[in-house]
């Protein structure tokens, strides 16, 4: 009897602890969110776009004259499409290794190529550990490339956030961040994931060297959300364009060496300033080999090898040299609660290579383009969870007839009509 009474009171006393544990477990799980988006898109000419639907516009197509002097690509087009519709889940869970843990998964119906459009694809998938008392965070998984700054990116209505003037790439990575008051410093090692270099699907992986990136960020934000954000970063990447070369003397194949890889560096900086009525963002980058981020750039074979042995040259070995590209953009947006107006302006310039190149060996994006620019004003109306937005966009691209010995486009006639396009967009976005 006494044991039964003691057991009864033990169970009774444990009920609050069980209830608390159950409540704690209920706070963990996944919270779904996302949006449904449908766009009506008009372009005044044929364009280069991802997935071939002309929604994710990259640039106007070059002028292509027929025998009568008519531009074959000067054909207007219209489309309705909703494959940007997105689903995301924020995951919370118990502490691990003394850190608060969280996860995130996000996808849309954009597919990974023209052949898989309308199919669900993975955008983000990462786990994060945060030691708040130490100001230390570790992120592992697929997330934005560090040059895509989540605190400072274009607010365009068009899908792509200002690409190709702003980088667009999500990469598998390990990122370690440390905060020092208003400063945040992080180091990331990355692979290419879905966003591949034009050198080939395995060119980065088979170099055996992960991409590295170091960035410093400053943030000073008031309680009302106004403030200033600024930062700068530096990245380094190595590609192996070929696993073997062929000897011009014997015709035999020989394995390439590390000296026949191509390395590239990138530096970028940004600043965002927000006051109650308006937000201003400015971003710029000087870089090499950023075609995997859907930007202008690439590399070519170097004409005169300097770092290869005589045997490597006899085996058909070659050196590579990256192209230099400068890109930048400005974005201004009002901060109204029922309607907002904004303007995006972007510019990219092909600066060629630092070394003589072998003509016809260029690999990358827009290698014969001298420069490109875009201006896009927008107007967004907001009511509850629904946004209705309109955006007009003028894009221009100056192609050269050929490139010179240093990879710079030449025979560019800036007095003639360039390859230009006017895009009109009407967008409906319902968030949940």
Report pLDDT digits (tens) over 379-422: 999 999 999 999 999 999 998 878 888 888 887 767 676 889 99
pLDDT at 28: 87
Task: Specify if 342 maps to a domain.
Answer: yes
Q: Where are the strands (E) in 289-338, listed by range?
A: 297-301, 320-334
Task: Specify if 7 maps to a domain.
Answer: no
Asked whether the predicted pLDDT for residue 14 surpasses 80, the reply is no
pLDDT at 7: 46
Q: How far is 403 from 396, CA to CA, in rounded Å? A: 19
Cα–Cα–Cα angle for 79, 83, 84, rounded to 5 degrees: 110
pLDDT tens figures, 146-188: 999 999 999 999 999 999 999 999 999 999 999 999 999 999 9
Residue bearing the bigger pLDDT, 348 or 257: 348
Distances (CA, A) of 25 to 21, 56, 350: 6, 42, 55
DSSP state of 147: T
Out of 62-66, 103-107, 218-222, 272-276, which region has the weakest mean confidence (pLDDT)? Answer: 62-66
pLDDT at 25: 53
Task: Specify if 12 maps to a domain.
Answer: no
Q: How many structural domains compose the chain?
A: 1
Residue bearing the bigger pLDDT, 367 or 21: 367
Asked whether the predicted pLDDT for residue 9 surpasses 60, the reply is no
Q: Where are the strands (E) in 44-85, listed by range?
A: 47-50, 56-60, 77-81
Neighbours of 403 (CB within 10 A): 24
Q: How far is 262 from 239, CA to CA, in rounded Å? A: 5
Q: What is the H or E stretch that residue 344 is in? A: strand 339-353
Q: How far is 345 from 376, CA to CA, in rounded Å? A: 6
- Residue 227 is encoded by which pair of tokens? 């403030």
Q: How far is 178 from 139, CA to CA, in rounded Å? A: 12
Asked whether the predicted pLDDT for residue 4 surpasses 50, the reply is no
Mean pLDDT of 278-301: 96
pLDDT tens figures, 54-107: 889 999 998 888 999 899 999 999 999 999 999 999 999 999 999 999 999 999
Task: Specify if 22 maps to a domain.
Answer: no
pLDDT at 12: 40
Task: Specify if 18 maps to a domain.
Answer: no
Q: Where are the strands (E) in 29-182, listed by range?
A: 29-43, 47-50, 56-60, 77-81, 86-92, 100-108, 121-131, 136-144, 170-180
Out of 12-16, 192-196, 428-432, which region has the weakest mean confidence (pLDDT)? Answer: 12-16
Mean pLDDT of the chain: 91
Cα–Cα–Cα angle for 145, 147, 150, rounded to 5 degrees: 80
Residue 260 half-sphere exposure toward CB, CA atoms < 13 A: 20
Task: Specify if 344 maps to a domain.
Answer: yes
Task: Specify if 331 maps to a domain.
Answer: yes
Mean pLDDT of 6-18: 43
CA 177 from centre of chain = 20
pLDDT at 306: 84
pLDDT at 16: 45
Q: Which domain holds residue 107?
A: 28-431
pLDDT at 164: 96
Asked whether the predicted pLDDT for residue 19 surpasses 80, the reply is no
Q: What is the pTM of this model?
A: 0.89
The enclosing domain of 134 has a CATH number of: 2.40.160.10
CA 198 from centre of chain = 15
* Rounded-to-5 percentages of helix, strand, coil across the chain: 10, 55, 35
Closest by CA position to 59, among listed 350, 398, 401: 398
CA 240 from centre of chain = 22
pLDDT at 287: 93
Task: Specify if 10 maps to a domain.
Answer: no
Model confidence at 297, pLDDT cuts 50, 70, 90, reads very high
pLDDT tens figures, 183-203: 999 999 999 988 999 999 999
pLDDT at 409: 84
Model confidence at 21, pLDDT cuts 50, 70, 90, reads very low
pLDDT at 10: 45
Mean pLDDT of 245-261: 90
pLDDT tens figures, 336-376: 999 999 999 999 999 999 999 998 899 999 998 999 999 99
Asked whether the predicted pLDDT for residue 264 surpasses 80, the reply is yes
Residue 190 half-sphere exposure toward CB, CA atoms < 13 A: 29
């Amino acid at each position: 009897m006494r044991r039964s009474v003691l057991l009864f009171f033990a169970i009774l006393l444990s009920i609050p602890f069980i209830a608390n544990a159950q409540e704690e477990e209920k706070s963990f799980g996944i919270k779904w969110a996302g949006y449904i988006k449908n766009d009506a898109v008009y372009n005044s000419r044929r364009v280069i776009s991802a997935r071939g639907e002309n929604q994710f516009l990259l640039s106007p197509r070059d002028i292509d004259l027929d025998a009568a002097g008519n531009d074959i690509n000067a054909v207007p087009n219209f489309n309705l499409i909703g494959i940007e519709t997105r689903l995301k889940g924020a995951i919370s869970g118990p502490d691990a290794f003394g850190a608060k843990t969280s996860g995130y998964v996000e996808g849309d119906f954009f597919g990974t190529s023209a052949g898989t459009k309308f199919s669900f694809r993975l955008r983000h998938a990462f786990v994060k550990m945060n030691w708040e008392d130490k100001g230390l965070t570790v992120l592992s998984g697929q997330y934005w490339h560090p040059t895509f700054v989540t605190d400072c990116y274009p607010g365009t209505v068009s899908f792509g956030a200002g690409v190709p003037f702003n980088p667009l790439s999500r990469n598998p990575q390990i990122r370690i961040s440390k905060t020092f008051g208003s400063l945040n410093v992080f180091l990331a090692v990355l692979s290419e994931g879905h966003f591949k270099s034009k050198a080939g699907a395995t060119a980065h992986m088979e170099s055996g060297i992960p991409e590295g990136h170091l960035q410093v960020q400053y943030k000073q934000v008031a309680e009302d959300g106004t403030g200033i954000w600024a930062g700068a970063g530096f990245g380094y990447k190595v590609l192996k364009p070929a696993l073997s070369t062929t000897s011009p003397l014997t015709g035999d194949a020989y394995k390439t060496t590390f000296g026949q890889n191509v390395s590239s560096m990138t530096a970028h900086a940004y600043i965002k300033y927000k006051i109650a009525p308006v937000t201003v963002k400015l971003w710029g980058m000087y870089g090499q080999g950023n075609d995997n981020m859907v930007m202008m750039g690439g590399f070519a074979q170097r004409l005169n090898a300097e770092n290869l042995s005589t045997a490597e040259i006899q085996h058909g070995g070659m050196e590579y040299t990256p192209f230099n590209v400068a890109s930048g953009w400005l974005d201004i947006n009002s901060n109204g609660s029922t309607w907002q107006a904004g303007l995006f302006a972007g510019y990219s310039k092909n600066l060629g290579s630092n070394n003589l190149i072998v003509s016809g060996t260029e690999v990358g994006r827009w290698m014969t383009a001298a420069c490109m620019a875009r201006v896009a004003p927008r107007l967004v109306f907001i009511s509850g969870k629904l946004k209705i937005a309109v955006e007009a966009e003028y894009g221009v691209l100056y192609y050269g007839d050929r490139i010179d010995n240093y990879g710079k486009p030449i025979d560019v006639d800036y007095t003639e009509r360039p390859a230009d396009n006017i895009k009109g967009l009407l967008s409906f976005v319902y968030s949940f």
